[in-house]
Chains A and B, each alone.
Chain A
């Protein structure tokens, strides 16, 4: 199994631009999570899906952030418009079942200038 696959690995964009991060979970996993890591706030949950349905999006910072999971093998996290304070590493993780072992992707390092 290739694990959780995220793309791109690095993204540098100008303030105001739209950014789309992508994630392919492990085949057969039915829960998918988006986390953000910053020095100030550590690892924080943004949103998670169970069977492609968003369950908890209370961690999404504001309306500029949106996430979708159109099918069991693909999810996107979109920021529009992006701001410098969005600069962080964004991780995607997947698991089978609510209390299963989480597997993380390699992350996307986003820099907004």
Chain B
């Protein structure tokens, strides 16, 4: 099946720093989403981005489907950005659902 690799696995930042999280996937996809799991365990949908670039405040994401990767940018990080960031993809085949990567754990300190 499709492989979803996220890097780095862990990231520690000072408040105000910028960061880039990467997601590589091994096959073509119909859908790609980025989620943030906050310290309370909730999975928050950040971006639905099968291709192209989107921005939402301090966060932006880019997916290059032909090269099978996506990037999540966090600028001017805040302590509330801490948590786990997941990339999830929907393989381009019938009868499948979102497949999740193992996530990047982000810790932002003040």
Q: Which residues of A contact B (CB under 8 A)?
A: 33, 35, 42-45, 48, 55-56, 89, 91, 93, 98-104, 106-107, 109
Contact = CB atoms under 8 A, between A and B. Distances in A.
11 contacts: A42-B100, A42-B101, A45-B99, A55-B95, A98-B30, A101-B31, A102-B98, A103-B45, A104-B35, A104-B42, A107-B43
Contacts of B97: 33, 45, 48, 56
Contacts of B88: 43, 102
Contacts of B41: 89, 106-107, 109
Given A55-B95, A99-B31, A101-B33, A106 B42 contact: yes
A103 B102 CA distance: 19
A42 B45 contact: no
A17 to B, nearest CB: 23
Interface in B37-53: 41-43, 45, 48, 50
Nearest to A58: B95
Contacts of B101: 42
A60 B50 CA distance: 28
A104 B99 CA distance: 14
